[in-house]
Structure 1
Protein backbone atom coordinates (compact mmCIF):
# COMPACT_ATOMS: atom_id res chain seq x y z
CA UNK A 1 0.00 0.00 0.00
CA UNK A 2 1.42 3.37 -0.98
CA UNK A 3 1.71 5.33 2.27
CA UNK A 4 3.38 8.76 2.47
CA UNK A 5 5.00 9.37 5.89
CA UNK A 6 2.31 11.87 6.95
CA UNK A 7 -0.36 9.17 6.65
CA UNK A 8 1.52 6.16 8.06
CA UNK A 9 0.23 4.31 11.14
CA UNK A 10 2.83 2.35 13.12
CA UNK A 11 1.32 2.02 16.60
CA UNK A 12 0.42 -1.66 17.07
CA UNK A 13 -2.47 -1.19 19.54
CA UNK A 14 -3.95 1.42 17.20
CA UNK A 15 -3.62 -0.94 14.23
CA UNK A 16 -5.30 -3.73 16.20
CA UNK A 17 -8.11 -1.35 17.17
CA UNK A 18 -8.77 -0.65 13.48
CA UNK A 19 -8.85 -4.39 12.77
CA UNK A 20 -11.45 -4.88 15.51
CA UNK A 21 -13.55 -1.93 14.36
CA UNK A 22 -13.53 -2.87 10.66
CA UNK A 23 -15.80 -5.89 11.20
CA UNK A 24 -15.58 -7.23 7.62
CA UNK A 25 -12.26 -7.90 5.89
CA UNK A 26 -11.32 -9.19 2.45
CA UNK A 27 -8.91 -12.13 2.25
CA UNK A 28 -6.84 -12.15 -0.96
CA UNK A 29 -4.58 -15.00 -2.09
CA UNK A 30 -2.59 -15.48 -5.28
CA UNK A 31 -2.84 -18.99 -6.73
CA UNK A 32 -1.74 -20.74 -9.91
CA UNK A 33 -5.26 -20.04 -11.21
CA UNK A 34 -5.14 -16.33 -10.41
CA UNK A 35 -6.20 -14.08 -7.54
CA UNK A 36 -8.94 -15.25 -5.18
CA UNK A 37 -10.74 -12.93 -2.76
CA UNK A 38 -13.35 -13.55 -0.07
CA UNK A 39 -15.12 -11.00 2.15
CA UNK A 40 -15.28 -12.42 5.67
CA UNK A 41 -15.34 -11.30 9.31
CA UNK A 42 -12.06 -11.83 11.14
CA UNK A 43 -10.97 -11.28 14.72
CA UNK A 44 -7.48 -10.60 15.99
CA UNK A 45 -5.73 -12.26 18.93
CA UNK A 46 -3.26 -9.46 19.70
CA UNK A 47 -0.84 -11.40 21.92
CA UNK A 48 -0.51 -14.46 19.67
CA UNK A 49 2.72 -13.74 17.81
CA UNK A 50 4.72 -10.50 17.50
CA UNK A 51 1.99 -8.72 15.50
CA UNK A 52 -1.03 -10.80 16.47
CA UNK A 53 -2.97 -13.52 14.67
CA UNK A 54 -6.21 -13.35 12.69
CA UNK A 55 -8.94 -15.99 12.82
CA UNK A 56 -12.07 -16.61 10.79
CA UNK A 57 -13.68 -19.19 8.54
CA UNK A 58 -14.76 -19.72 4.95
CA UNK A 59 -17.36 -21.96 3.36
CA UNK A 60 -16.07 -25.45 2.62
CA UNK A 61 -17.38 -25.01 -0.93
CA UNK A 62 -15.18 -21.92 -1.34
CA UNK A 63 -12.18 -22.97 -3.47
CA UNK A 64 -9.90 -20.39 -1.87
CA UNK A 65 -8.96 -22.58 1.08
CA UNK A 66 -8.00 -25.57 -1.09
CA UNK A 67 -5.93 -23.69 -3.69
CA UNK A 68 -2.32 -23.42 -2.45
CA UNK A 69 -1.36 -19.75 -2.18
CA UNK A 70 1.71 -18.40 -3.95
CA UNK A 71 3.42 -16.38 -1.24
CA UNK A 72 1.64 -14.59 1.57
CA UNK A 73 -2.06 -13.87 1.82
CA UNK A 74 -3.36 -10.33 2.28
CA UNK A 75 -6.24 -9.38 4.56
CA UNK A 76 -7.68 -5.94 3.74
CA UNK A 77 -9.42 -3.92 6.46
CA UNK A 78 -11.20 -0.62 5.79
CA UNK A 79 -12.07 2.03 8.37
CA UNK A 80 -14.10 5.23 7.94
CA UNK A 81 -13.92 6.90 4.54
CA UNK A 82 -15.36 9.99 2.93
CA UNK A 83 -15.33 11.99 -0.29
CA UNK A 84 -13.81 15.46 0.17
CA UNK A 85 -15.06 18.27 -2.06
CA UNK A 86 -12.68 21.17 -2.80
CA UNK A 87 -15.53 23.49 -1.87
CA UNK A 88 -14.71 22.90 1.81
CA UNK A 89 -11.14 24.23 1.48
CA UNK A 90 -10.40 27.77 2.61
CA UNK A 91 -7.69 27.86 -0.05
CA UNK A 92 -10.36 27.50 -2.76
CA UNK A 93 -11.26 31.14 -2.13
CA UNK A 94 -7.58 32.19 -2.16
CA UNK A 95 -6.30 30.69 -5.41
CA UNK A 96 -8.67 27.95 -6.64
CA UNK A 97 -5.85 25.44 -7.13
CA UNK A 98 -7.64 22.58 -5.37
CA UNK A 99 -9.06 19.23 -6.43
CA UNK A 100 -11.33 16.56 -4.89
CA UNK A 101 -9.84 13.74 -2.84
CA UNK A 102 -10.85 10.86 -0.60
CA UNK A 103 -10.13 10.51 3.10
CA UNK A 104 -9.88 6.97 4.50
CA UNK A 105 -8.39 4.56 7.00
CA UNK A 106 -6.99 1.21 5.87
CA UNK A 107 -4.89 -1.61 7.32
CA UNK A 108 -3.32 -4.43 5.31
CA UNK A 109 -2.28 -7.60 7.16
CA UNK A 110 0.14 -9.97 5.44
CA UNK A 111 0.81 -13.56 6.45
CA UNK A 112 0.83 -17.21 5.52
CA UNK A 113 -2.70 -18.64 5.86
CA UNK A 114 -3.40 -21.91 7.66
CA UNK A 115 -6.72 -23.68 7.09
CA UNK A 116 -8.16 -26.28 9.47
CA UNK A 117 -11.32 -28.33 9.99
CA UNK A 118 -10.93 -29.64 13.54
CA UNK A 119 -14.46 -29.38 15.05
CA UNK A 120 -13.29 -28.06 18.43
CA UNK A 121 -11.17 -25.32 16.87
CA UNK A 122 -13.98 -24.41 14.47
CA UNK A 123 -16.48 -24.18 17.31
CA UNK A 124 -14.10 -21.88 19.20
CA UNK A 125 -13.71 -19.57 16.19
CA UNK A 126 -17.45 -19.46 15.50
CA UNK A 127 -18.22 -18.84 19.17
CA UNK A 128 -15.67 -16.03 19.49
CA UNK A 129 -16.87 -14.33 16.30
CA UNK A 130 -20.48 -14.59 17.44
CA UNK A 131 -19.77 -13.26 20.92
CA UNK A 132 -17.76 -10.37 19.44
CA UNK A 133 -20.59 -9.15 17.24
CA UNK A 134 -23.50 -10.00 19.57
CA UNK A 135 -21.99 -8.41 22.68
CA UNK A 136 -23.53 -4.97 22.10
CA UNK A 137 -27.07 -6.32 21.69
CA UNK A 138 -29.51 -6.06 24.63
CA UNK A 139 -30.10 -9.82 24.50
CA UNK A 140 -27.08 -11.39 22.76
CA UNK A 141 -27.60 -14.58 20.82
CA UNK A 142 -25.05 -17.29 21.57
CA UNK A 143 -24.00 -20.41 19.68
CA UNK A 144 -25.30 -22.43 22.65
CA UNK A 145 -28.82 -21.13 21.86
CA UNK A 146 -28.91 -23.45 18.84
CA UNK A 147 -29.26 -27.26 19.20
CA UNK A 148 -25.84 -28.92 19.54
CA UNK A 149 -26.45 -31.42 16.73
CA UNK A 150 -27.48 -28.57 14.42
CA UNK A 151 -24.31 -26.62 15.26
CA UNK A 152 -22.12 -29.65 14.65
CA UNK A 153 -23.77 -30.09 11.27
CA UNK A 154 -23.15 -26.46 10.38
CA UNK A 155 -19.48 -26.77 11.32
CA UNK A 156 -19.06 -29.45 8.65
CA UNK A 157 -19.81 -26.81 6.03
CA UNK A 158 -16.95 -24.47 6.94
CA UNK A 159 -13.16 -24.44 7.12
CA UNK A 160 -11.26 -22.43 9.73
CA UNK A 161 -8.62 -19.83 8.92
CA UNK A 162 -5.60 -18.89 11.03
CA UNK A 163 -3.41 -16.08 9.72
CA UNK A 164 -0.35 -15.22 11.81
CA UNK A 165 0.43 -11.61 10.92
CA UNK A 166 3.92 -11.23 9.46
CA UNK A 167 3.54 -7.60 8.41
CA UNK A 168 1.04 -4.81 9.09
CA UNK A 169 0.60 -1.70 6.95
CA UNK A 170 -1.58 1.07 8.31
CA UNK A 171 -2.73 4.29 6.70
CA UNK A 172 -4.89 7.13 7.97
CA UNK A 173 -5.40 9.74 5.25
CA UNK A 174 -7.44 12.42 6.97
CA UNK A 175 -6.35 15.71 5.38
CA UNK A 176 -3.04 15.85 7.32
CA UNK A 177 -1.40 17.37 4.24
CA UNK A 178 -3.77 20.35 4.23
CA UNK A 179 -3.57 23.61 6.19
CA UNK A 180 -5.34 23.95 9.54
CA UNK A 181 -7.98 26.12 7.84
CA UNK A 182 -8.60 23.57 5.11
CA UNK A 183 -8.84 20.76 7.65
CA UNK A 184 -11.33 22.74 9.68
CA UNK A 185 -13.45 23.21 6.56
CA UNK A 186 -13.35 19.51 5.73
CA UNK A 187 -14.19 18.50 9.29
CA UNK A 188 -17.16 20.88 9.37
CA UNK A 189 -18.42 19.72 5.99
CA UNK A 190 -18.22 16.04 6.89
CA UNK A 191 -19.73 16.59 10.34
CA UNK A 192 -22.80 18.13 8.72
CA UNK A 193 -23.32 15.16 6.39
CA UNK A 194 -26.30 12.82 6.60
CA UNK A 195 -23.92 9.89 6.05
CA UNK A 196 -22.73 8.23 9.27
CA UNK A 197 -19.39 7.30 7.70
CA UNK A 198 -18.74 10.94 6.83
CA UNK A 199 -19.34 11.97 10.44
CA UNK A 200 -16.98 9.22 11.63
CA UNK A 201 -14.31 10.54 9.27
CA UNK A 202 -14.86 14.09 10.50
CA UNK A 203 -13.98 13.04 14.04
CA UNK A 204 -10.61 11.72 12.83
CA UNK A 205 -9.42 14.99 11.30
CA UNK A 206 -6.82 16.57 13.55
CA UNK A 207 -6.91 20.36 14.13
CA UNK A 208 -3.85 22.58 14.49
CA UNK A 209 -0.51 22.63 12.76
CA UNK A 210 -0.22 20.13 9.85
CA UNK A 211 3.24 19.14 11.08
CA UNK A 212 1.70 17.83 14.30
CA UNK A 213 -0.92 15.72 12.54
Structure 2
Protein backbone atom coordinates (compact mmCIF):
# COMPACT_ATOMS: atom_id res chain seq x y z
CA UNK A 1 0.00 0.00 0.00
CA UNK A 2 2.93 2.33 0.67
CA UNK A 3 5.80 1.00 -1.50
CA UNK A 4 7.88 4.20 -1.49
CA UNK A 5 10.38 3.85 1.34
CA UNK A 6 13.47 5.56 2.69
CA UNK A 7 16.55 3.39 2.19
CA UNK A 8 19.14 4.20 4.87
CA UNK A 9 22.73 2.96 4.83
CA UNK A 10 25.92 3.75 6.67
CA UNK A 11 29.09 2.87 4.79
CA UNK A 12 32.24 4.40 3.38
CA UNK A 13 30.26 7.36 2.05
CA UNK A 14 28.76 8.03 5.48
CA UNK A 15 25.11 8.00 6.41
CA UNK A 16 22.95 8.13 3.26
CA UNK A 17 19.19 8.09 2.73
CA UNK A 18 17.31 7.83 -0.56
CA UNK A 19 13.65 7.41 -1.36
CA UNK A 20 13.11 4.24 -3.42
CA UNK A 21 10.00 2.26 -4.47
CA UNK A 22 10.17 -1.36 -3.32
CA UNK A 23 8.32 -4.55 -4.11
CA UNK A 24 8.10 -7.60 -1.88
CA UNK A 25 8.93 -11.11 -2.99
CA UNK A 26 8.08 -13.99 -0.72
CA UNK A 27 9.68 -17.38 -0.98
CA UNK A 28 10.71 -20.46 0.94
CA UNK A 29 13.80 -18.68 2.28
CA UNK A 30 11.82 -15.68 3.56
CA UNK A 31 10.71 -12.26 2.41
CA UNK A 32 12.92 -10.11 0.21
CA UNK A 33 12.55 -6.41 -0.60
CA UNK A 34 13.43 -5.64 -4.23
CA UNK A 35 14.21 -2.32 -5.85
CA UNK A 36 16.51 -0.60 -8.30
CA UNK A 37 18.55 2.57 -8.24
CA UNK A 38 20.98 4.47 -10.43
CA UNK A 39 24.49 3.08 -10.75
CA UNK A 40 25.71 6.66 -10.34
CA UNK A 41 23.99 6.99 -6.96
CA UNK A 42 26.71 7.09 -4.29
CA UNK A 43 24.61 4.81 -2.10
CA UNK A 44 25.17 1.99 -4.61
CA UNK A 45 28.81 1.66 -3.51
CA UNK A 46 27.79 1.50 0.15
CA UNK A 47 25.16 -1.14 -0.63
CA UNK A 48 27.91 -3.25 -2.21
CA UNK A 49 29.77 -3.24 1.13
CA UNK A 50 27.00 -5.51 2.42
CA UNK A 51 26.55 -3.79 5.74
CA UNK A 52 23.06 -3.69 7.21
CA UNK A 53 20.51 -1.41 5.60
CA UNK A 54 17.32 0.02 7.07
CA UNK A 55 14.23 0.46 4.89
CA UNK A 56 11.50 2.63 6.40
CA UNK A 57 8.00 2.59 4.94
CA UNK A 58 5.78 5.44 6.06
CA UNK A 59 2.06 4.82 6.13
CA UNK A 60 -0.67 7.31 6.89
CA UNK A 61 0.34 10.29 9.05
CA UNK A 62 -1.16 13.58 10.11
CA UNK A 63 -0.99 16.44 12.58
CA UNK A 64 -3.40 16.19 15.51
CA UNK A 65 -4.78 19.46 16.88
CA UNK A 66 -5.71 19.72 20.57
CA UNK A 67 -9.03 21.17 19.37
CA UNK A 68 -10.19 17.62 18.60
CA UNK A 69 -9.90 16.57 22.28
CA UNK A 70 -13.08 16.98 24.35
CA UNK A 71 -10.79 17.23 27.41
CA UNK A 72 -9.57 20.58 26.07
CA UNK A 73 -12.83 22.14 27.28
CA UNK A 74 -12.60 20.30 30.63
CA UNK A 75 -9.09 21.19 31.77
CA UNK A 76 -7.06 22.59 28.85
CA UNK A 77 -4.07 20.31 29.54
CA UNK A 78 -3.59 19.18 25.96
CA UNK A 79 -0.93 19.73 23.30
CA UNK A 80 -0.67 19.06 19.57
CA UNK A 81 0.93 15.85 18.36
CA UNK A 82 1.45 13.74 15.26
CA UNK A 83 -0.14 10.36 14.57
CA UNK A 84 1.61 7.95 12.19
CA UNK A 85 2.12 4.38 11.09
CA UNK A 86 5.53 3.13 9.92
CA UNK A 87 7.17 -0.21 9.16
CA UNK A 88 10.93 -0.69 9.39
CA UNK A 89 12.81 -3.55 7.75
CA UNK A 90 16.47 -4.44 8.28
CA UNK A 91 18.67 -6.67 6.18
CA UNK A 92 21.97 -7.13 4.38
CA UNK A 93 21.60 -5.75 0.83
CA UNK A 94 22.76 -7.46 -2.36
CA UNK A 95 23.44 -5.32 -5.43
CA UNK A 96 22.44 -7.11 -8.63
CA UNK A 97 23.89 -6.10 -11.99
CA UNK A 98 21.94 -8.58 -14.10
CA UNK A 99 19.89 -7.36 -17.07
CA UNK A 100 17.21 -10.07 -16.76
CA UNK A 101 16.75 -9.53 -13.01
CA UNK A 102 16.45 -5.77 -13.51
CA UNK A 103 13.96 -6.21 -16.36
CA UNK A 104 11.85 -8.56 -14.22
CA UNK A 105 11.91 -6.15 -11.27
CA UNK A 106 10.92 -3.18 -13.44
CA UNK A 107 8.13 -5.23 -15.03
CA UNK A 108 6.87 -6.41 -11.62
CA UNK A 109 6.95 -2.92 -10.07
CA UNK A 110 5.27 -1.31 -13.07
CA UNK A 111 2.59 -3.99 -13.36
CA UNK A 112 1.71 -3.64 -9.67
CA UNK A 113 1.07 0.08 -10.07
CA UNK A 114 -0.50 0.03 -13.52
CA UNK A 115 -2.87 -2.91 -12.90
CA UNK A 116 -5.88 -0.80 -11.90
CA UNK A 117 -5.69 1.50 -14.91
CA UNK A 118 -8.06 0.97 -17.82
CA UNK A 119 -5.10 1.02 -20.21
CA UNK A 120 -2.08 -0.09 -18.16
CA UNK A 121 1.36 0.88 -19.43
CA UNK A 122 4.02 -1.81 -19.63
CA UNK A 123 7.71 -1.79 -20.38
CA UNK A 124 6.97 -3.33 -23.78
CA UNK A 125 5.09 -0.12 -24.70
CA UNK A 126 8.38 1.79 -24.94
CA UNK A 127 10.98 1.19 -27.67
CA UNK A 128 13.20 -1.75 -26.73
CA UNK A 129 16.46 0.15 -27.38
CA UNK A 130 15.26 2.97 -25.12
CA UNK A 131 14.49 0.56 -22.26
CA UNK A 132 17.84 -1.20 -22.76
CA UNK A 133 19.67 2.13 -22.54
CA UNK A 134 17.76 3.07 -19.37
CA UNK A 135 18.52 -0.29 -17.77
CA UNK A 136 22.27 0.16 -18.37
CA UNK A 137 22.20 3.02 -15.88
CA UNK A 138 20.62 1.12 -12.97
CA UNK A 139 21.35 -1.81 -10.69
CA UNK A 140 18.98 -4.09 -8.86
CA UNK A 141 18.75 -4.41 -5.12
CA UNK A 142 17.61 -7.26 -2.92
CA UNK A 143 17.33 -6.96 0.85
CA UNK A 144 16.35 -10.20 2.56
CA UNK A 145 14.37 -9.13 5.62
CA UNK A 146 16.22 -10.11 8.81
CA UNK A 147 14.02 -8.03 11.10
CA UNK A 148 10.68 -6.28 10.68
CA UNK A 149 9.09 -3.85 13.11
CA UNK A 150 5.92 -1.80 12.97
CA UNK A 151 5.47 1.39 14.97
CA UNK A 152 2.45 3.59 15.32
CA UNK A 153 1.15 6.51 17.27
CA UNK A 154 -2.60 6.53 16.87
CA UNK A 155 -3.74 8.46 19.94
CA UNK A 156 -3.64 5.21 21.93
CA UNK A 157 -2.43 7.21 24.95
CA UNK A 158 -5.63 9.26 25.01
CA UNK A 159 -8.93 8.51 26.75
CA UNK A 160 -11.70 7.13 24.52
CA UNK A 161 -13.55 10.48 24.09
CA UNK A 162 -10.34 12.10 22.80
CA UNK A 163 -9.70 9.16 20.43
CA UNK A 164 -13.19 9.52 19.01
CA UNK A 165 -12.63 13.27 18.58
CA UNK A 166 -9.28 12.67 16.86
CA UNK A 167 -10.77 10.05 14.54
CA UNK A 168 -13.57 12.41 13.54
CA UNK A 169 -11.15 15.31 13.04
CA UNK A 170 -8.84 13.18 10.90
CA UNK A 171 -11.79 11.94 8.84
CA UNK A 172 -13.02 15.54 8.35
CA UNK A 173 -9.50 16.54 7.20
CA UNK A 174 -9.41 13.71 4.64
CA UNK A 175 -7.16 11.32 6.58
CA UNK A 176 -9.55 8.36 6.52
CA UNK A 177 -6.88 5.64 6.73
CA UNK A 178 -5.34 7.19 9.84
CA UNK A 179 -8.79 7.78 11.38
CA UNK A 180 -9.43 4.05 10.94
CA UNK A 181 -6.13 3.29 12.72
CA UNK A 182 -7.15 5.50 15.66
CA UNK A 183 -10.47 3.64 16.00
CA UNK A 184 -8.83 0.23 15.51
CA UNK A 185 -6.12 0.92 18.09
CA UNK A 186 -8.75 2.24 20.53
CA UNK A 187 -10.58 -1.08 20.39
CA UNK A 188 -7.27 -2.94 20.98
CA UNK A 189 -6.73 -1.35 24.39
TM class by shorter chain equals: over 0.9
Q: Aligned partners of 1:74 and 1:30: how far apart in 2?
A: 9
Query: Normalized against structure 2, the TM-score is what?
Result: 0.92
**Residue 182 of structure 2 aligns with which residue?**
205
Query: Normalized against structure 1, the TM-score is what?
Result: 0.82
Q: Aligned partners of 1:130 and 1:207: how far apart in 2?
A: 32
* Structure 1 unaligned regions, length at least 5: 1-20
Q: Aligned partners of 1:101 and 1:88: how far apart in 2?
A: 11
Q: Is it true that 1:160 corresponds to 2:140 in the alignment?
A: yes
**Residue 53 of structure 1 aligns with which residue?**
32
* Structure 2 unaligned regions, length at least 5: none
Matches within 5 A, 1:99-118: 99-118=79-98
Q: Aligned partners of 2:122 and 2:32: how far apart in 1?
A: 23
Q: Is it true that 1:73 corresponds to 2:53 in the alignment?
A: yes
Secondary structure of the structure 1 residue equivalent to 2:183: coil
Q: Is it true that 1:63 corresponds to 2:42 in the alignment?
A: yes
Deviations 1:9-44 (A, max 9, x none): xxxxxxxxxxxx112111111012311111110011
Q: How many aligned residue pairs are there?
A: 188
Bigger CA drift: 85-94 or 53-62? Answer: 85-94
Contact 1:30 1:69 in 2 (8 A): no
Q: Higher strand fraction: Structure 1 or Structure 2?
A: 2
Q: Aligned partners of 1:151 and 1:48: how far apart in 2?
A: 32
